[in-house]
Amino acid sequence: MINIPKGTKDMLPEEAYKWHFVENTAREVAQLYGFKEIRTPIFEHTELFLRGVGETTDIVTKEMYTFEDKGNRSITLKPEGTAGVVRSYIENALDQVVLPMKAYYISPIFRYERPQNGRLREHHQFGVEMFGADAPEADGEIISLANTLLRRLGLTSLKLYINSIGCPECRKKYNEALMNYIGSNLDKMCNQCKERFNKNPLRILDCKEEGCKAITANAPKVTDYLCEDCAAHFEGVKKNLELRGIEYEVNPQIVRGLDYYTRTVFEFVSTDIGAQGTVCGGGRYNGLVAQLGGKDTPAVGFGCGLERLLLVLENTNGLNAEKETPYLYIATMGEKAKEKAIDLVEKLRANGVSAETDLMNKSVKAQMKYANKIGVKYVIVIGDAELESNKVEFKDMTDGSTKEVYLTEIEQWIERQ
């Protein structure tokens, strides 16, 4: 037997309704905010992620699924969603269509990392991206969209943490202060942080090692080193969130795990799935479009892991999705009854009613057991004798009650659907 690869998981038919609930809710909320769907390839040229995500990030240094194709081109399975959308925005000149350009996606994401609750080597992400708007109101709109989605899904015990990591200019000053603070303790830090120290010291704040976290707990705050424009922008974001009635907490340790972020970064954290509680995160990335070959364009967005969302909902009994079941089952006895059942289910489906009938020559008793297992609301029992009398048995599966109805009444009801 060939088993499933480590860090992956099948979505079984009985679980599909949960995914559909989350995905459909995400689409509905995105459309409420004027976002349209974009789909980018599951793999891209590796250079896109080296330039876009950042060569000092864990994603690039440890986690990418990279291989050479038959043309000796380096290809990488998508490790995050933003870079591919930016590539498409540039390549398809989407700035010429309308600004701000607003897009959402639902996509598989691949990262070679230790599997954990809600995060697999292949997981799935809902994300939104907005291009062209630099005002704090755009940041507020993106955070509001995420907040609306999480609340509509039924998530509770959520906290919104926000921070600003400034622009490249004010970040230079902060990096100097951070390096001065960390310098004497560098030998006590993990090898990854030692590598980051000279390349990108801000990344040290994102380290999950307990020893490193203890050292950086009292590090200088990046918000104390913001330039005038970045400080004003951050104040604007906070004011906008207050206008929208969205509670938040400023957390100077929030820097996110990707190099392309500028200014606003944020995370929604749940306390219901243990230590790895971030269910949604994002921020502003004003330099990425130009970095990947486009025009200088402000942009902001976020990503939500669908497995994480489902895990929180199931842990809190907050998954209010209904199972997707057929509406009607037609049980049959006899050849003529089977022919009539096929005619009826085709008419029902043509009129938008989900219906099934026997496909395995089961007995009526076995057909009723099957109908009960798949959760249909109603069952009609038709035999050859019932066809002669024009009367069939109609059973309500919710309370077990039965009654005789004329077959012509059933046919008239179908026509009215």
The confidence band for 56, taking pLDDT boundaries of 50, 70 and 90, is: low
pLDDT for the residue numbered 35: 98
pLDDT for the residue numbered 125: 96
Q: Where is mean pLDDT largest: 260-269, 274-283, 311-320?
A: 260-269
pLDDT tens-place string over residues 146-159: 999 999 998 878 89
- Check pLDDT > 80 for residue 273: no
pLDDT for the residue numbered 171: 85
- The span from the CA of 328 to the CA of 351, in Å, is 13
DSSP letter string, 108-151:
EEE--S--BTTB-SEEEEEEEEEES--SHHHHHHHHHHHHHHHH
Q: What's this model's pTM, rounded to 2 decimal places?
A: 0.89
Cβ burial 44-76 (10 Å sphere, 16+ → b, else e): bebebbbbbbbebbbbbeebbebeeeeeeeeeb
User: What domains are there in the chain, each with its CATH number?
Assistant: 13-167+227-315 (3.30.930.10), 328-416 (3.40.50.800)
- 44 in Cβ contact with 74 (< 8 Å): no
272 vs 173, residue with greater confidence? 173
pLDDT tens-place string over residues 371-402: 999 999 999 999 999 899 999 999 999 999 99
5-8: list long-range contacts, CB under 8 Å, 24+ apart: 5/121, 6/115, 6/121, 7/112, 7/113, 7/115, 7/120, 7/121, 7/122, 8/120, 8/121, 8/122
Mean pLDDT of all residues in 26-38 = 98
Place of tokens 């971030």: 278
Mean pLDDT of all residues in 174-187 = 86
- Check pLDDT > 90 for residue 362: yes
Percent residues over pLDDT 70 in the chain: 98
Place of tokens 């009985």: 14
- The span from the CA of 112 to the CA of 303, in Å, is 18
- 298 in Cβ contact with 284 (< 8 Å): yes
pLDDT tens-place string over residues 76-108: 999 999 999 999 999 999 999 999 999 999 999
